Structure 1
């Protein structure tokens, strides 16, 4: 179906974001199992819970428009998930702290993709006069930003310093 207007684009992007979040859900669980820092593992589990809530919100919004949330496959997140697996799980790490730093890096890439998606669909909803939907999307955007800030705090609070190791 062609995208004829902002309303159609809004539907398309809700579906794309739903796909992106669905793809990120599993890898975030894998990252949480690989994390050595208890604080990082806890933050990743909280992130996974946030992604699940976001999926519920997006499914509800799609239902309000009579569209299938699974109507789109997000190739962008597909690539980010492949990279997360390659660079945070399958790489050969010399120490656990460096792997934790890599986990944060990959999580934040996924979070930033979601932040961009939420920001766009929120703006579309508001422009379309769907203020309630815009408010719900803003809540998801705010929660995603908070998760990103938590990861930055963990990185700056010691994980990156620990990953420096001994410089030879």
Structure 2
């Protein structure tokens, strides 16, 4: 699809975020299974539900604009997933708490990609006068920020301290 204007860019980026979300879910599940912390594991499971909810919004927005949400492959998220696997799952950890700290680190990198994407498309929707789209994207952005803040609380609330021992 040739990008001729902001609307085309908006639609392209909706598809990119959809792909990013789809790619992130399996690695988040794997990190949840690998986590020693029950709180962290539950937070990762909950984040996947939020990601799934966001994908539904993205798919609906794409469909509303006559675009298939599945035609894009996000290379950025592909790289982040590779890094998450390497640094949180395949690295050799002598301490499970250190692995949990690594899992949080990698999760937050995935989340920050989504935060940037949602923020951009929400801003595009505002500029294009797509107020309904912008409101839905703001909700997705808010939920993603909420998940990121929750991970920070888990890290600061005990995981990082436990990993220093």
TM-score range, shorter chain: over 0.9
Q: Name the Cα RMSD after superposition.
A: 0.6
Residue 71 of structure 1 deviates from its aligned partner by 1.7
For 1:28 and 1:53, locate their aligned partners in 2 and report how far apart those are by CA, in whole Å: 15
Which deviations, in whole Å up to 9, do the C-alpha atoms of 1:111-165 show, x marking residues without a partner? 0000000000000011111100100000000000000000000101110011012
TM-score, structure 2 normalization: 0.99
| Structure 2 residue matching 1:19: 3-state secondary structure | helix
For 1:110 and 1:153, locate their aligned partners in 2 and report how far apart those are by CA, in whole Å: 17
TM-score, structure 1 normalization: 0.97
Provide structure 2 residue ranges, at least 5 long, that are not aligned to the other structure. Answer: none
- Aligned residue in 2 for 1:94: 94
For 1:98 and 1:111, locate their aligned partners in 2 and report how far apart those are by CA, in whole Å: 20
- Aligned residue in 2 for 1:30: 30
- Aligned residue in 1 for 2:158: 158
Residue 2 of structure 1 deviates from its aligned partner by 1.4
| 1:1-168 map, 5 Å | 1-165=1-165
For 1:35 and 1:54, locate their aligned partners in 2 and report how far apart those are by CA, in whole Å: 24
Moved over 2 A (4+): none
Q: How many residues of Structure 1 are paired with residues of Structure 2 in the alignment? A: 165
Residue 93 of structure 1 deviates from its aligned partner by 0.3
Which deviations, in whole Å up to 9, do the C-alpha atoms of 1:64-114 show, x marking residues without a partner? 011010121100000000000000011110011000000000000000000
| Structure 2 residue matching 1:93: 3-state secondary structure | coil
